[in-house]
Amino acid sequence: MTDGDWAIVTKDLRKSYRGRAAVDGLDLRVPAHGVHGFLGPNGSGKTTTIRMLLGLVRADSGRMRIFGTSVPRALPEVINRVGAIVESPKFFPTFTARRNLDLLARAIGAPRTAVEDVLDRTGLRDRANEPYRGYSLGMKQRLAIAATLLKSPDLLIFDEPTNGLDPAGIHEIRGTMRRLADEGHAVLVSSHILAEVEQVADTVSIIGRGRLLASGSVAEVVGDRSGAVRVGIADPDGAAQVLGTAGLVVRRDGEALVVEGERDPARVTYLLAQQGRYVNSLSQVGAGLESVFLELTSGHELGAPPHVAPEGGERS
Amino acid sequence: MRLLGVELTRLRSRLAIVLLLSIGLASTALFAWAAFGSAQPMTDAQLAEAETQWELARQDWEETGDEQVASCEEAEAAESEAAGEELDFGCDELAPQREWFFWQPPPFDEFVGAALSSGQMILCLVALMVGVTFVAAEFASGSIGTWLTFEPRRIPVFVSKIGATALAGLLFGLVWTALFMAANAAGYALAGSEVTIAATQVHTVARAAVLAMAVAVAGAGLAFVVRHTAAALGIAIGYLIGVDMILLGAVVPGGQRWTLVNNITAWITGRPVSYYEDSCTVEAGGTVCDWVERTVSMSQGGVVTLAMVLVVTVVALLTFRHRDV
């Protein structure tokens, strides 16, 4: 596959702030179809990467391409194929939704009917004449999505789109992303919550400290790494020491312990019982980004080669 | 042109800007009141009192005029001898004149020029705030980031925002100065004084419009650099106090020639602005200082103001083009 067959390709992308690397040699490939989760903990470089792709932040070095077009040098050539919401939606607070959209539509020469069309598609028509500042966060997100749709983009970028949303809002955004992908758009969604993205993403890339840790389909990346065991026990510190000595990855979660990457609760109870320690409660928890992320980085130098390469992609 | 049109729409839609411009335009009404007060002829009581005072002064002069002139000339001669040069005490102008006691309003043209010297503060302040808030609010709300994901070419974005600010400043300057003139004329007319409209007043309106445009552009430029309304206004006010008034106005020798206040006043009034510098020479008897009158011409005022706006605009462009958003 050539770079043009991918929605986004970055090679050895780097960006530092005051000598501290925010993005550190990132090689990223986002397929031209489907939902791609761009995952990493807070501060891992997701937003900086997105901002560099959109020309809002200058990269120190490296190469970026969107649909094969080199950015930011030729960004104006491809910008109309890209709709993006970076961090939270940002519009003029005193303007109505319709006014905000109208200004953006005029900037790209979109027909006036486009505004009404995207208002309909996002269910905002009835409240389109209200000032943006009065909108709930969910409505702001819908307006931001409406703005991205003004361009009829081939690629949609959502940066932490569910931050601050209630469950209904999160569900709605997920549904919207899935629908857009099913309509043929490529969707890149960044998040620090894998569990949230894995319900909607077809492929994911996981980054940490600005470097790619893993990339591929959700099943491939999460695969056997999923699972953790939550242990309630009287002396969590002592128990953590026992489990740690046995080679398990353990972290404190309040008064409980979470054994990362462990799918067999029996092994946990066995190891503890051997040392005369008995659990009060035991439960399996699904994989979160944190558990996968900890496993990916545990025992490896940060930025180790990704475990799984996307289909048709390169191992890097 | 498309971006410029969008920016003009955005500017028109901003409630804060509409309010600022409205307050600025409404402020011209205050000048009607001031003009009315200044153009009031003397009342009958004041006329009677003036007549009495004039008569007293005339009688006193008839009685003691020769003595006053002689005393004056004696003092003039003594001081001239002491100074080693011929001094003029104006002894031949001591006789009281009737017009000294009967005040007349200044000619309309002269009054308007003086009023504009103080009125320009309002014009410039409103133009500055419009320019600053128009750009800074976009950075504060973060909508500039959204905007750049639709139009990533920063130079056209910059030019369109500066262009819209310039047009708004120009229009505001034209309307404000026209209303200012009309308000002063109304005040004069209501007071029963003569109002004469001269070509110079039309030129004044044009110069004020250009000035408002320049100040608005400078405000927008500052906002591109510091990205915050209060910070941009603080820098502008800090410059006026720290650099204009203190450094150039009082510390740097010859600095008054370059103060914004002097240059802007010269430009907008169309008349030279005078200031005084002390010129000192060391002589045998010690250091002798004298006040020397210097002027800032209208053309210099225009060039200096334009140069400052250009500097701010270029710095703003470079900043916006290269800095992360």
Give the 3-state DSSP-derived string for chain A, with helices as H, strands as E and coil as C.
CCHHHEEEEEEEEEEEECCEEEEEEEEEEEECCEEEEEECCCCCCHHHHHHHHCCCCCCCEEEEEECCEEECCCHHHHHHHEEEECCCCCCCCCCEHHHHHHHHHHHCCCCHHHHHHHHHHCCCHHHCCCEHHHCCHHHHHHHHHHHHHCCCCCEEEEECCCCCCCHHHHHHHHHHHHHHHHCCCEEEEEECCHHHHHCCCCEEEEEECCEEEEEEEHHHHHHHHCCEEEEEECCHHHHHHHHHHCCCEEEEECCEEEEECCCCHHHHHHHHHHCCCCEEEEEEECCCHHHHHHHHHCCCCCCCCCCCCCCCCCCC
Provide, as residue numbers in chain B, all residues whose Cβ is less than 8 Å from the Cβ of A88. 142
Of residues A76, A92, A104, nearest to B152 (C-beta): A76
Q: What is the DSSP letter of B39?
A: T
Whether residue A25 is contained in a domain is answered as: yes
Alpha carbons within 13 A on the beta-carbon side of B68: 15
- Average pLDDT estimate for A64-70: 96
Residue A100: list chain B partners with CB under 8 A: 143
Closest residue of chain B to A144, computed from CA coordinates: B146
Listed by number, the residues of chain A in 248-277 with a beta carbon closer than 8 Å to a beta carbon of chain B are none
pLDDT reading at A143 higher than 50: yes
Could you give the dihedral angle defined by the CA atoms of residues A131, A135, A140 and A142, in that order, rounded to the nearest 10 degrees?
-100
pLDDT confidence tier of residue B283, bands split at 50, 70 and 90: confident
- For chain B, say whether A94 makes contact (Cβ under 8 Å): yes
B324 touching A, CB under 8 A?
yes
pLDDT, greater one: A303 or A65: A65
Cβ contact (<8 Å) for A103 and B2? no
Q: Could you tell me if A70 and A92 lie in one domain?
A: yes
Shortest Cα distance, chain B CAs vs residue A56, angstroms: 5
Inside any domain, residue A112 = yes
What residues have CB less than 8 Å from A168, skipping those under 6 apart? A138
Distance separating the N- and C-terminal Cα atoms of chain A: 15
Buried residues in B284-296 as b, exposed as e (16+ CB within 10 A): eeeeeeeeeebeb
Residue A297 has pLDDT above 80, yes or no: no
How far is the C-alpha of B90 from the C-alpha of B321, rounded, in Å? 64
Which residues from A are below 8 Å from B16, CB to CB? 94
What distance, in Å, lies between the first and last C-alpha atoms of chain B?
Answer: 24
Burial of B57 (0-12, 13-18, 19+ CB in 10 A): middle
Interface test with A, best of B2, B3, B133, B146 (most A CBs within 10 A): B146
Residues in chain A closer than 8 A to B14 (CB atoms): 94
pTM: 0.80
Mean pLDDT estimate for chain A: 85
Task: Tell me the average pLDDT across B189-204.
Answer: 85
Tell me the C-alpha to C-alpha distance, in Å, between residue A143 and each of A57, A133, B48, B144.
Answer: 24, 12, 76, 16
Find the CATH number of the domain harbouring A262: 3.30.70.100
What angle in degrees, to the nearest 10, is found between the helix axes of A137-149 and A97-107?
20
Give residue-wise pLDDT tens across range A199-222: 889 999 999 889 998 898 877 776
Do A131 and A167 share a domain, yes or no? Answer: yes
Of the ranges A112-116, B79-83, B308-312, the best mean pLDDT one: B308-312
Predicted pLDDT at A289: 54
Q: Is A92 on the interface with B (CB under 8 A)?
A: yes
pLDDT at A304 over 70: no
A141 shares a domain with A119: yes
**What pLDDT sits at residue B222?**
98
Task: Look at A104 and B5 and tell me if their CB atoms are within 8 Å.
Answer: no
Nearest to A36 by CA among A167, A157, A195, A162: A157
Q: Is residue A133 part of a domain?
A: yes
Q: Which pLDDT band, with edges at 50, 70 and 90, does B232 fall under?
A: very high
* A74 and A203 assigned to the same domain: yes
User: Is a pLDDT exceeding 80 seen at residue A290?
Assistant: no
pLDDT at site A173: 86
d(CA B193, CA B45): 19
Average pLDDT over residues B83-103: 87
pLDDT of residue A42: 83
Model confidence at A50: pLDDT above 90: yes
- Examine residue A308 and state whether it is found in any structural domain, yes or no: no
> In this structure, is residue A192 part of a structural domain?
yes
Identify the CA nearest to B178 among candidates B39, B12, B25, B301. Answer: B25
Given A197, A221, A245, the domain boundary residue is A221
Quickly list DSSP for B116-152.
Answer: HHHHHHHHHHHHHHHHHHHHHHHHHHSHHHHHHTT--
Both A199 and A234 in one domain: the answer is: no
Name the most confidently modeled range: A167-181, A225-239, A276-290: A167-181
Question: Can you give the residue range of the structural domain that contains A278?
Answer: 227-285
Residues of A in contact with B3 (CB under 8 A): 107
- pLDDT greater than 90 at residue B221: yes
Q: Is A184 exposed, middle or buried (0-12, 13-18, 19+ CB in 10 A)?
A: exposed
Residue A58 contacts B, CB cutoff 8 Å? yes
Q: Higher confidence at residue B148 or residue A229?
A: B148
Whether the pLDDT of residue A4 is over 80: the answer is no
Q: Are residues A110 and A258 in the same domain?
A: no
Contact A57 B324 (CB under 8 A): yes
Contact A68, A2 (CB under 8 A): yes
Do A119 and A85 share a structural domain? yes
Nearest CA in chain B to A48: B324
Q: Which of B3, B5, B141 sits opposite A90 (nearest CB)?
A: B141
Residue A100 lies in a domain: yes
Q: Are A90 and B146 an interchain contact pair (Cβ–Cβ within 8 Å)?
A: yes
Q: Does A14 touch chain B (CB under 8 A)?
A: no
Mean pLDDT over the full length of chain B: 92
ipTM: 0.75
| Per-residue pLDDT at A302 | 39
Is A98's pLDDT higher than 70? yes
- In Å, how far is A237's CA from the nearest CA of chain B? 46
Which percentage of chain B shows pLDDT scores above 70? Answer: 100
pLDDT band at A223 (very low <50, low <70, confident <90, very high): low
Per-residue pLDDT at B282 exceeds 60: yes
Instruction: Compute the nearest-CA separation of A123 from chain B (Å).
Output: 21
Q: Which of A221, A249, A273 is the last residue of a domain?
A: A221
Quick one: average pLDDT of A33-60?
Answer: 93
What per-residue confidence (pLDDT) applies to A253?
A: 84
User: What pLDDT shows up at residue B264?
Assistant: 94
Shared domain for A264 and A281, answered yes or no, is: yes
B-chain residues near A151 (CB < 8 A): 150
- Helix spans in chain B (H): 2-13, 15-26, 28-38, 44-83, 108-141, 143-148, 154-190, 199-226, 229-238, 260-269, 298-322
* B138 contacts A92? CB cut-off 8 A: yes
Q: Per the domain annotation, does A307 fall within a domain?
A: no
Asked whether residue A305 is domain-assigned, the answer is no
Q: How many domains would you assign to chain A?
A: 2
Between positions 144 and 183 of B, the ones with CB within 8 A of A are 145-153
Asked which of A62-66, A100-104, B77-81, B145-149 is least confident by mean pLDDT, the reply is B77-81
Q: pLDDT by residue (tens digit) across B176-186?
A: 999 999 999 99
A21 in contact with B, Cβ within 8 Å = no
